[in-house]
Amino acid sequence: MDFEAHREQLTGVAYRMLGSLTDAEDAVQETWLRMARTDTSEVRNPAGWLRTVLSRVCLDMLRQRARQEPVEEPDPAPGADREVLFADEVGRALLVVLDRLGPDERVAFVLHDVFAVPFDEIAPIVGRTTATAKKLASRARAKVRGTSPSPDAAGQRRVIEAFLAASRTGDLDAIVAVLSPDVVRRADGRPEVRGARHVAEEIVVFGRNARFADFALVDGEPGLVIAPDGRLRLAIRFTISRGLVAGYELISSPARLARTALALA
């Protein structure tokens, strides 16, 4: 069995399941070790066999992670370009939302909804019946998609897109143009900032993380998540009025982030 021919795809599967490139590569390496200890001469579908072994490894890692105390992850190192590229490819919002699923839900959702693996193959991986595997994926899908946004969600998203595009340029005048004159910026543990010019000046200084932003539903309304390495650092909730950003709130407290409902936009 030519393992190297499957390594990149296996890494992609593991990354979606684990949300960490380091963990994904560890899972792929463990899969290789298990293959090396197994007689695979009669395996007819190497890709499927390896994916099954990898999925079980990932599920074990997710279950172990769920039993441990949460540890605040450090910011990605300046040289962690490959992690950033993987997050860009997969979608930061998807990684953030997947991280809120239970281990079995996450594995079932990734295998079925992302890689179209049949439920009768997923069932033995998660140790459930086929019917239960379907329920796991369905429950995960509902969490990933969230509730239906407001009727004006499309219009709100266009305003946020303009805000994000301006923030990424760092152009003060472009940022001011998407803000209401009396815009208010609120943030955990920081004083309010009021007025388009003052808010825009802050964005010019601190808006470099806008390149790590992705669209998401934040408490059911269009917003942004900042996830440099696919792990949630910040959620932004907006108030839109007359086609401009009238206010926004930066949610960074771990306790508040845990209570904030997030879904794909």
First vs last C-alpha separation in the chain: 41
64-100 confidence digits (pLDDT tens): 988 875 655 555 544 467 888 888 889 999 999 999 9
Closest alpha carbon to 229 in 16, 42, 48, 84: 84
Closest alpha carbon to 21 in 233, 234, 230: 230
Beta bridge partners, 144, equal none
Distance CA 223, CA 238 (A): 6
pTM for this prediction: 0.86
- Tokens 């795809």 correspond to what residue? 9
94-142 confidence digits (pLDDT tens): 999 999 999 999 999 999 999 999 999 999 999 999 999 999 999 999 9
3-state helix vs strand vs coil in the chain, percent to 5: 55, 15, 25
User: Contact at 8 Å (CB) between 146 and 264?
Assistant: yes
Q: Would you state the structure tokens that stand for residue 185, as one six-digit string?
A: 């910026």
